[in-house]
Amino acid sequence: MPSYVRSRAWRRFPRGGTALRALALCAGLLAATAVHGRAEDVLVPVTISAPAVRAVQYVTGRVAAVSCADPARGQRSEMTIRDENGRADTVLVKATTTIYDGLGAALTLESLRIDQKVKVKYITSTEGVREALSIMVVP
């Protein structure tokens, strides 16, 4: 049996005692270097706030106008609803907006007609744009 196998260091560190010692020395030097940083390396606490919860709102009224998206012109899909008081609300209709009738059957934006009664569930974005989440045709 070779002499290094019989030494005490080998028995303490059965797999490369010298390599483990070198690794421990490097880790210690790295930790000491991290502790003795430069004055410019001062850590400043940063507070990250969670995004504001956007409240879901509803508007019920009659369809006053529908415009389908035309990417060539830069036009987005929008719908204008006029409520019972005559106030007009325009909402952005996104690809993720669910449109359905009173029975739950899916509809398309093109199938909506002027003066049809709808209930729109929407949120207001941080830019102030009303984004429709769902549109239900009320019977």
Q: pLDDT (tens digit, 9 = 90+) per residue, 5-16?
A: 555 554 555 555
Query: Which pLDDT does position 4 carry in this prediction?
Result: 52
Classify 57-137 by CATH class.
mainly beta
Confidence at residue 45, expressed as pLDDT on a 0 to 100 scale: 72
Which residue bears the tokens 């490097």? 26
pLDDT at 74 over 80: yes
Using CA atoms, how far residue 75 sits from 16, 51, 67, 68, 122, in Å, is 69, 28, 8, 8, 20
Predicted confidence band at 102 (pLDDT cuts at 50, 70, 90)? confident
Residue 56 scores a pLDDT above 70: yes
